[in-house]
A and B are shown apart, each in its own frame.
Chain A
Amino acid sequence: MRRIISIFKALTLSSLRSPSVIFWNVFFPVILLLILASIFSNIGKEVSFRVNFVDESTTFKNTNMDFASYISRAFEEISAGKNAVITLQSSTTERFLNESLKKLKSGKIDAVIVIPPLFNTQIYAAVAQQKSGLNLFSKPKIEVYTLENSETSDLAFTVISSVLESFNLKILQNSAPLSDFVSPKIEYISKNGQNFSYIDFIVPGILVMAVMTVSLFGITDDLLVQREKKVLRKLFVAPLNKSEYFWAMILSNLTVEIVQTIIILVLGIYLGSHFNIGISVLLYIIFVMVTTLPIGFFIASFAKTSDAGNALANVLNFLFMFLGGLFFPITGVPLAVKIVAYAIPTTYLANGLRWAMGTMSSPTPMYLNILVPSIWAIVMIIYSAKVFKWEV
């Protein structure tokens, strides 16, 4: 045990001091995560519209007939929170109106909502005459200014009108026993639903990639490179047994993987991914580590030289990374590619980890997410045990 710890310390220290190990296993995943997250963070997330709200109404202020303030509050509510669909600025002054219209023209905002001075009175009158069946007063109107030929402005109008529509409905419900002639429109749905969030998708993907990279290249380095550099023979002529070196190597690679995991999870939280950190996540991350290490043994057993080992590690890493759907969902690919994707362990590991993190449902059943990587690991271990020779 003393010897295992001492070799473990030496190998780990060496890894953590190695610029290339740190670059490929820590900086690279971090940079990749940042780049992918910043490029694709809008996938599945509604665009936020910039809307100014001008309340010019003067009648029935500070009473329960102040409909204008109800509308204002409704907009404020949906503009609250981080991923809100609109960002709202509101005021009641004439100057604010002029400024807002100017900003709209220059494209700094997407829409301006104006509540006219007699709005509350008009509503009151409208409700009253609806009850009585008369048609004396003009309908209450809210002006929504948008920019011509602007797609975002159009979308903003759609969102605003759906909010107003639902407000319409509410007034009718409160003021009249459900009138038949107003068919209820779809209520505006605020952001609660199961939406695709790229950051939730990519964090587990990057984590699987990072851990796999260490498993593949770390073992190749510890076995093939150190053998070729004649470091191993120097150790084995001293009173160190091969099994002790083996376990020290495993521990050392696990340590690097744990460091990576912590960094990526912290960064993921910072970038806005809301995953659970519970026992199931921790167990599944350990599962990822334990099932990818045998692929490293396979490389060290199959390849005769460190160059061949590195080449094989690169090929497998590349294949497992892109066909495993770590960064992008595998859709719309030819059948042959799909078959490969569903044969390799990373597809299942990423699905399993996304499921364990509670951010996404897994397209593959959870028992397969355990079974397939386990089968890979067992086969690789059996192969390595048969083929690997220390040959120091």
Chain B
Amino acid sequence: MREFILEVEDLKKYYFDVKAVDGISFKVLKGEVFALLGPNGAGKTTTLEILEGLKDYDSGKIRLFGEEIRRKIPRRLRERIGVILQENNFVDHLKTIEILKMFRSLYPKGLDIKDILKEISLEDKANAKVEKLSGGQRQRLAIGTALVGDPELIFMDEPTTGLDPQARRNVWEMIEKLREKGKTVFLTTHYMEEAEYLADYIYVMDHGKIIAKGSAEELISSFGGEKIIEIDLDSKDLDLSFLSEFQKTKVEDSKIIIVTSYLPADMKKALDLFEERSIKIDDIIVRRPNLEDVFLNLTGRKLRD
């Protein structure tokens, strides 16, 4: 049986009336990529910062590397953890290579600085001052500082937010490599395609609670045989109350999403309803559900607003 590297039980953190983390439990297997998926304000960062020892929590149990943790995380455990925060800043006026060396010296073992520079593709920026790096380069440096100590467990808070598609791909590749090396990656994201692509296991979080869990496959198949009809309209602000004839629908601007378990009948019904009201349809597609739809289905909201 594979061991759990991290176990969390009924974790709670309230800010007065804001239930940032509201009794969540999960277990992370050694060697897997674990994703916490949720919209802004879901409580992802709060959860992660508690696990990193940056924040206190109100109640709950945390076991890290099989050891029960209270508040502070002892150094001997931090030596086995790499962290990428949501916002990573470094001491000013230092060069990329100096920052990596500094972080390397904090860990008892670690990787060669040259290898790390290559890994994060910053070889040509080794001697550039940190304040001169672009956002993407900074993010890669942040990943470098998290990996330089060759940790077993890596926490990443939205590692690709704000990156262009190419840079995002690069980060995904890095995470894939970490998985191949047997590292455990715990990441948060609000990109469903990121979770879908990377994660072995996904916890969907909203308003401080876990609302669904499983692999991407499992989450999607929780729809059963359901399909998605996506209809693009010419105009917005129409009276669409007739859509209540369907069980699950969602309207945003000029786009209508209908969840259907019996495609031919619902398709015909939809077309008829629009025809009767002479509403023009711009485009209509039928597709498999994705994680976005899962979230929509569970909360009635989109992941990203």
Contact = CB atoms under 8 A, between A and B. Distances in A.
A237 B105 contact: no
Contacts of B83: 234, 237-238
Given A233-B54, A392-B54, A238 B91 contact: no
A158 B52 CA distance: 82
B85 A6 contact: no
Contact of A238 (B89, B94, B149): B149
A17 interface: yes
Contact of B90 (A7, A17, A234, A240): A234
A14 B91 contact: yes
A232 B89 CA distance: 9
Contacts of B106: 3, 6, 235, 238-240
A10 interface: yes
Contacts of A9: 102
B79 A239 contact: yes
Taking residues whose C-beta sits less than 8 angstroms from the other chain, chain A's interface range is 20 to 34
Given A233-B54, A237-B85, A13 B103 contact: no
B236 interface: no
A70 to B, nearest CB: 68
B78 interface: yes
Contacts of B93: 13-14, 17-18
A292 B134 CA distance: 39
Taking residues whose C-beta sits less than 8 angstroms from the other chain, chain B's interface range is 20 to 34
A238 B88 contact: no
Given A6-B106, A237-B78, A13 B90 contact: no
- Say what secondary structure dominates the interface of chain B: loop
A231 interface: yes
Contacts of A10: 91, 94, 98-99, 102
A237 B107 contact: no
Interface string B71-88: 000010011010101011
B136 interface: no
Given A3-B105, A6-B106, A238-B107, A14 B54 contact: no
A240 B74 CA distance: 10
A231 B75 contact: no
Nearest to A17: B93
Interface in A33-87: none
A255 interface: no
A343 interface: no
A236 interface: yes
Interface string B19-34: 0000000000000000
A39 B108 CA distance: 57
B75 A239 contact: yes
A230 B92 contact: no
Contacts of A226: 91
A234 B101 CA distance: 15
Contacts of A274: none
Contacts of B52: 237
B85 A230 contact: yes
Contacts, number: 70
A229 B107 CA distance: 23
Contacts of B149: 238-239
Contact of B89 (A2, A229, A236): A229
B188 interface: no
Contact of B53 (A14, A230, A237): A237
A92 interface: no
B47 interface: no
Interface in B106-155: 106-108, 145, 149
A325 B125 CA distance: 49
A238 B78 contact: yes
A231 B88 CA distance: 7
Nearest to B78: A239
Nearest to A226: B91
A156 B159 CA distance: 81
A59 B144 CA distance: 95
Contacts of A234: 83, 85, 88-90, 145
Contacts of B88: 230, 234
Contact of A6 (B53, B79, B102): B102
A343 B85 CA distance: 46
A390 to B, nearest CB: 10
B94 to A, nearest CB: 6
B145 A238 contact: yes
Contacts of A230: 85, 87-89
A133 to B, nearest CB: 89
> Looking at B81, B91, B105, B107, which has the most chain A CB atoms within 10 Å of its CB?
B91
Nearest to A235: B106
B54 A237 contact: yes
Given A2-B105, A240-B106, A13 B78 contact: no
Interface in B51-78: 52-54, 75, 78
A11 B99 CA distance: 11
A258 B91 CA distance: 22
A130 interface: no
Interface of A: 2-3, 6-7, 9-11, 13-14, 17-18, 226, 229-231, 233-241, 392
7 contacts: A3-B106, A10-B91, A10-B102, A14-B93, A230-B85, A235-B106, A237-B83
Given A13-B93, A237-B54, A239-B107, 7 more contacts: A3-B105, A3-B106, A6-B102, A10-B102, A14-B91, A234-B145, A240-B106
